[in-house]
Amino acid sequence: MSPKKRRKGRPAPRHHVCRRGEPLSIASTRVIDRSEPLRLVTRNGDGSWQFLDGRPIDVDHLITTHAHHLFDEFPADLGMLRHLPPGHLAVRDGAGCPWRIEPYDEE
């Protein structure tokens, strides 16, 4: 399910077009529905992203979507991370806390 469908009746803007060839990314549904803050963002080597809440990963709480949906929905949280280089992650303790950016090795 895309974040557009989870926005409780708010349709996507008429001008919205997903970018052809943009890789799918992983997002926590708990972040999208705002029941948990965004605490971990990773930029994978293939250009995809992960937008996670920092809690133990449960596949029932993950969806695939395009990263621009998250950047559009959470501009205050993600604005400074838009240009995060591949192979890096950003982590923080909670909403409003500063991001710590560091490289990581994909396994």
The per-residue pLDDT for range 56-82, each reduced to its tens digit, is 988 999 999 999 999 999 999 999 999
Residue 86 is assigned to a structural domain of this protein: yes
Q: Is residue 67 part of a domain?
A: yes
Domain annotation covers residue 28: yes
Distance CA 100, CA 91 (A): 5
Answer yes or no: are the C-beta atoms of 53 and 40 closer than 8 Å.
yes
Q: How far is CA 21 from CA 18, 72, 100, in A?
A: 9, 18, 29
- Read off the pTM: 0.81
Asked if residue 106 belongs to a domain, the reply is no
Q: Does residue 98 belong to any structural domain of this protein? A: no
> Looking at the 3D structure of the chain, how many domains does it have?
1
Q: Look up the domain containing 72 and give its range.
A: 24-93
Residue 10 lies in a domain: no
Pairwise CA distance, residues 90 & 77, whole Å? 11
Residue spans of the chain under pLDDT 50: 1-10
